[in-house]
Amino acid sequence: MSLQSNGSPPEEIQPITLEAPPPRRHWATLVIDRVCLVIGVVLTIVHQGVRELPLDVDVELTVLAVVLWGAMLATLLWRLRLYREEGVVLQRERAATVTAMLGAAAIVAAVVGGVLAGRGLEAARALGVGVELAVVFRAAAALGALVRHVVAEGRNAAVVFAGSFLVLIAIGTSLLMLPRAIAAEKPPVPLGERFRIALFTATSASCVTGLIVVPTGGESPYWSPVGQMVILLLFQIGGLGIMTWSVVFAMLAGRHLQLREAQQLHTLFDLQSPGEFRRTLLTIGRFVVVIELLGALGLWGLWPAEWPWSKRAFYSVFHSVSAFCNAGFSLTENSFVDMAYRPQVVFLVPLLIIVGGLGFPVLQNLSELFVKWYRESLRWLGWERSRRVPIEELERPARLSLNSRLVLLTTAVLLVGGTLAYFILESVGSPTFAHRPFGQRLAEAFFQSVTFRTAGFNTVDHAQLGPATKLLAIGLMFIGASPGSTGGGVKTTVFAVAVLAIVSTLRGRTVVECHRRTLPDRQVRGALTLMTLGLMALMTSAILVVLFEAAPAGFLDQLYEVTSAFGTVGVSTGITASLKPQSQYVLILTMFVGRVGPLTLLMTLPAPRRRAIYQFPEERVTLG
């Protein structure tokens, strides 16, 4: 069965498979499983969050974790047996198997590591860590199932999308407040200040912004390796969103994409048809894994050779994920300032940022074109034999969509234009920049042009930039990345459509055209609405920060920080940590609005039940 009318393969949307309600006999096992899971999560947080525990308490918590995991595994197997006895075929069998295998793998890996490190107590502690990892896997699977259930119920997709980020921020804040997440050498701080630091960092990471109020790494980091790992997970999950990750892992575990899920996610991500979402998700999974791993391998040589391999690996993965997700978090003292002209920084990091900011629909479209070119090359070389293909396996012809053309063209114009503008403005306004070699100036201009729109890394001190360059950066930050990407801002397509609308008006055209296509009037009005709402949100946040700071001399830097927060960029002139608490809370709200989008937040409001079926008479007004 297929719901598409444009030639898409029918397997894009799986047949609707309705799971039977749980047998009445297994409600007790279900309750036991959920109770054990909640207790296990709390136990894991306490066990791993408290910096030091007495030996007897440590052993007791380890034994309790093993007992809880055994109870959860037993109830899981018992429920599957009950289902089979009643003849119910479950999609969740494969998911349960995958969950059990992940848990077993975590336990085995931890135990083997403990045995290699030392027998006895170390092996027992390793067993506890493995069991707690298994509990975390199980909790993540349960959270993903809950998100899918809410989406499949047909609730407002915008509410679910915004709510998922609030949940992620709340979880991240709780984890970052744990004692073990903070570096041991840091003196204790008041609870209110610790909460504000954790909330700001969790919001910045979840919304892939990169603004910080305490050092993430460097010589004197505020966060311990545990806290840094939490931050890494937050911007990895936040880059795509809980909804996307939950559906990706569900499909990898063998679950079908239900019709309501496809429709809701299609509405939220504005795809051409509901069936495209499954293919897009599979493309997302492949791209994320491959690109981030290749990026980590490419960044390996950036770190000192005398470092332990584990530290080099963590730094490589952290910065690769941070660049691809456009997060801008760095474990170094001053981002990439001390490595500004290394090949990895000049070429690889901008490439990861650009690819992450293009948007997954564009990446999927490009991958389809690559596959088409590859197959045609094989046919031309005579290496692929022709064969009959059933009609249901025919794919629609691959072509570069209008969305991809607009995104690629706008991105190229912004990159080239931003590079030239930065080069000229800094050459005129900064004597230090003007006396550097041409290659270094060009590399610096290109890197800042890339990072101004999305990422938040820097190879220069942004506090030393000229006022004109800062205004250029503010404009690029407001535009941001492309739709469906890990970046923020009002999006490149919105900016492009707004420009096309202006050009169309100046040409006296009644419609907006692009590449021999006419854009729907609804999308044109939507783009102008997004631009207006974005400006309103930005101005509101800027007014509040300027009002709270009461420092007129620093107005430009304050506007710079607010725009960086709204565009989820993360570049800073260095004043974020010195802002008053009220201003930092404004930035927290601004980062959330910038990541979710002002229009999405308006979509969460109750819609009118009845649409107007009448229209008032038309009358002109004076525009200027």
pLDDT tens for each residue of 219-251? 889 999 989 999 999 999 888 766 566 565 555
Assigned token pair, 327: 């997060």
What is the per-residue pLDDT for 451? Answer: 93
pLDDT at res. 17: 43
Considering only CA atoms, which of 619, 607, 505, 472 is closest in space to residue 158? 607
Cβ burial of 366 (10 Å; 0-12, 13-18, 19+) is middle
Specify the range with the lowest mean pLDDT, choosing from 5-19, 194-208, 344-358.
Answer: 5-19
Q: 83: which 2 tokens?
A: 């289902």
Asked whether the beta carbons of 76 and 100 are under 8 A apart, the reply is: yes
pLDDT at site 544: 96
Collapsing DSSP to helix, strand or coil, 513 comes out as strand
SS (H, E, C) 227-254: HHHHHHHHHHHHHHCHHHHHHHHHHHCC
What pLDDT does residue 443 have?
A: 93
Least confident of 386-395, 418-427, 441-450, 533-542: 386-395
**% pLDDT > 70, the chain:** 74
* Enclosing H/E stretch for 369: helix 360-381
91 pLDDT more than 60: no
* Mean predicted confidence (pLDDT) in 472-498: 90
For residue 606, the tally of other CB atoms under 10 A from its CB is: 6
Computed from CA positions of residues 441, 445, 448, 454, in that sequence, does the dihedral angle turn out positive or negative?
Answer: negative
Q: Compute the distance between CA of residue 463 and CA of residue 475 in angstroms, rounded to an integer.
A: 17
User: Which residues have a Cβ under 8 Å from the Cβ of 624 and sit 6 or more positions away?
Assistant: none
CA dihedral 287, 292, 297, 298 (to 10 degrees): 90
Task: Give the three-state DSSP class for 608.
Answer: coil
- Answer whether residue 390 shows pLDDT above 60: no
Please report which confidence band the pLDDT of residue 347 belongs to, taking 50, 70 and 90 as the band edges: very high
Please give the average per-residue pLDDT across 308-326, as a whole number: 93
Residue with tokens 């903070």: 182
As a whole number of angstroms, the distance between CA 187 and CA 199 comes to: 19
Exposure string over 216-229, b if 16+ CB within 10 A, otherwise e: bbeeebbbbebbbe
Distance CA 373, CA 590 (A): 43
Whole-number CA gyration radius for the chain = 26
Entry pTM: 0.83
pLDDT at 87 over 60: no
Structure tokens at 211: 């603004």
Within a 10 A sphere around the Cβ of 412, how many other Cβ atoms? 11
The whole-angstrom separation of Cα 420 and Cα 443 is 11
In whole angstroms, give the CA distance from residue 156 to residue 267: 10
Q: pLDDT-based confidence at 54, cuts 50/70/90? A: confident
| Residue 280 structure tokens | 């897009």
Sign of CA dihedral 262, 265, 268, 272: negative
Of 336-345, 363-372, 380-389, 547-556, the one with minimum mean pLDDT is 380-389
Torsion of CA 431, 437, 442, 443, to 10 degrees: -110
Return the structure tokens found at 457. 């890394």
CA atoms within 13 A on the CB side of 67: 9
Max mean pLDDT range (23-37, 48-62, 179-193, 233-247): 179-193
Q: What is the DSSP letter of 514?
A: E
pLDDT at 556: 95
pLDDT band for position 313 (50/70/90)? Answer: very high
At 7, list the tokens: 């030639």
Residue 4 has pLDDT above 60, yes or no: no
Measured CA to CA in angstroms, residue 313 lies from 296, 307, 578 at distances of 8, 10, 33
Cα three-residue angle 567-570-572, rounded to 5 degrees: 115
Confidence band of 354 (pLDDT split at 50, 70, 90): very high
Higher pLDDT, 248 or 314: 314
Q: How far apart are CA 478 and CA 494, in angstroms?
A: 11
- So what's the pLDDT on residue 454? 85
Which pLDDT value is given to residue 19? 46
| Mean per-residue pLDDT over the chain, rounded | 80
Residue 315's pLDDT band (cuts 50, 70, 90): very high
pLDDT tens figures, 253-311? 555 555 555 655 665 555 555 555 666 666 677 778 889 999 999 999 999 989 999 89
Residue 559 C-alpha from the chain's centroid: 25
- pLDDT of 55-79, one tens digit each? 777 777 777 877 887 787 777 777 7
**168-207: buried (b, 16+ CB within 10 Å) or exposed (e) per residue?**
bbebbbbbbbbebbbbeeeeeeeeeeeebbbbbbbbbbbb
Give the position of tokens 């800094």. Answer: 426
Residue 7's pLDDT band (cuts 50, 70, 90) = very low
Residue 213 C-beta-side C-alpha neighbours within 13 Å: 23
Question: Six-digit token pair at 554?
Answer: 């620093």
- Higher pLDDT among residues 339 and 95, named by residue: 339
pLDDT recorded at residue 2: 37
What is the predicted pLDDT for the residue at 8? 42
Given pLDDT bands bounded at 50, 70 and 90, which one contains residue 548? Answer: very high
Positive or negative, the Cα torsion across 351, 353, 354, 360? positive
Structure tokens at 376: 């045609």
CA distance 526 to 534: 12
Candidates 156, 149, 150, 132; CA nearest to 65 is 132
CA distance 293 to 242: 21
CB 44 within 8 A of CB 136: yes
Bridge partners for 517 per DSSP = 514
Residue 233 corresponds to which tokens in the numbers above? 């997970």
pLDDT band at 202 (very low <50, low <70, confident <90, very high): very high
Tens digits of per-residue pLDDT, 578-601? 999 999 999 999 999 998 877 666
What pLDDT digit, counting tens, does each position of 140-166 carry? 777 767 766 766 666 666 777 788 889
Q: Which of 231, 204, 216 is nearest to 570 (CA)?
A: 204
Write the DSSP string, 168-226.
Answer: HHHHHHHHHTSGGGB-TTSPP--HHHHHHHHHHHHHHHHTT----SS-SSSSS-SB-HH
- Give whole-number Cα distances, 315 to 307, 308, 320, 323, in Å: 11, 11, 8, 12
What pLDDT is attached to residue 6?
A: 43
Phi, psi of 483, rounded to the nearest 5 degrees? -65, 145
